[in-house]
Amino acid sequence: MKSSNRVIVFDTTLRDGEQCPGASMAPRQKLEVARQLARLGVDVIEAGFPVISQGDFASVREIAEQIDGPKICGLARCLPGDIQAAGEALRPAGKRGRIHVFLATSTIHREHKLVKSREEIIRLAVEAIRHARSFVEDVEFSPEDATRTEPDFLLRIVTEAIAAGATTINIPDTVGYTTPGEFAERIRMLREGVSNLGEAVLSVHCHDDLGLAVANSLAAIQAGARQVEGTINGIGERAGNAALEEIVMALQTRRDVFGGLETGIHAKEIVRTSRLVARMSGLHVQRNKAVVGENAFAHSAGIHQDGVLKKRETYEIMDPMAIGWGETELPLTKHSGRAALEKRLIALGFGLSREEIEALFGKFKEIGDKKKFVYDDDLVALAEGQITRIQETFELVYWTVSTAFHGVPTAAVRLRKGDEVLTDAGVGGGSVDAAMKAIDRISGRHGHLVEYSVEAVTEGKDAIGEVTVRVDFGEGRLLTGKAASTDVVEASVRAYLNAVNRSFLSRGDAPTKAQTASSRGGDVDPKTSVPIAAAP
């Protein structure tokens, strides 16, 4: 097996992470996350699953065109159409392109999902790898559900995959079933039992169903794996994936245990990357999460505070400054000009066009008039709002609400549709509810609010409030709307209107996931018409 002191970091935030319910990102959001992942220093970015939709194809292609540095990877089932789509999407990446093909190998998957024999599985895998090699030199193969696959069959299919041209062999714990000791033993088994393993890199991909994804990944690295796959903040299907920031900092902090293994990660970018992914995905980081949670370096106990003040290392095993905590630059003010704003946005990782900068500058001035300082997190919220702008069927012209203790909450909303200006007013359970109902009546779209969250972007009474809503318009999918303002009611109204406008864009021309998978020959549950989740 190709082996060294270097652990390759494979980020699948934009593919496996985005499969998390409610975490879907627009193509422009994916591009900004990819830019930040490149700044972070990941070795491979799995940019998406090109065949699954036209949007995913376009997103992977755009990332392949615009992102320099990391290898760009596209996922594909062992189907000719999948591989063709991945190859075409990755073409702009040139020699940095990688196709990642996967096929289930465990008994339960072979017998109940694929209904195929061992010989058929091996044939399909070999044919797919050879097909992928016709597009790229770098092909990764994953035997899906590898940790529940019979050892003799796993050894055989890995050997055949490498012989067919696979340059990376990834061992997925697809359902988060294994334990650290078991997983380490499986990695050792592969190293000893696959005669041609020296021709490929051995990788691992763990899910967190039992809360062991990071522990399993680290155990595999100790056993000899030299690529680790995961996501920022551990987002992903079901309970999520292994959190890359935790793996990286474990390797760095406990070099004594891991034999001095290194990654190419620029640790000072970790916190910034975590926050960007949280905002773009709408999945907030829990306060007590390791490394990137708000409480990761907070000390409330008097004994702890006293110890940290005397010597930081008494209760902190990592330097918070080294991973990006406390790195905010001097804030801008309403007197700052376009050049200062553009320079700061570039430093934060945003690549905005001249037109976008101009549009953002007006909003920046509005915020500057309302609060003394505009911090980095404020700028990130404003930039996110700019890059996720969509074609608006309805534009907000005016809103007002009235509420009082024991009073009746009322709202009036005025929207513009083309040359027509429409106004409605009414009551609701609260001021925000009343405004949303007015929007429903004007637009004719009646959404059911499934999730509503508001978060202060920065500290202080004048902080920008960022509102995220997830709305069901009765079409079999949830649509997300987001907006930010120093006025929480305004942010709520704009976020809901954003979701309404998205419903008009997707109406009638965006197939459901089941339709997409079915039309492309994917695995669909015949009882529920729901596609079987793409893994590893």
Which residues make up each annotated binding site? 16, 205, 207, 241
The SS3 of residue 425 is strand
Q: Are strands 420-427 and 465-472 parallel, antiparallel or unpaired?
A: unpaired
Contacts of 405 (CB under 8 A, 6+ apart): none
Q: How much is the CA Rg of the chain, to the nearest whole Å?
A: 25
CA distance 351 to 253: 33
Which residues define the annotated binding site for Mn(2+)? 16, 205, 207, 241
Which residue type, as a one-letter code, is found at position 360?
L
- Helical H runs in 74-169? 80-90, 107-109, 118-133, 151-164
DSSP code for 332: B
Return the closest-CA partner of residue 150 out of 162, 160, 158.
Answer: 158
Tell which residue, 226, 267, 246, 241, has the closest CA to residue 41: 267
The answer to whether 80 and 106 have CB atoms below 8 angstroms apart is no
Q: CA-CA distance, 233 to 20, in Å (whole number)?
A: 12
* 396 strand-pairing partners: 415
> Strand, coil or helix: what is 523?
coil
Residue with tokens 């400054």: 321
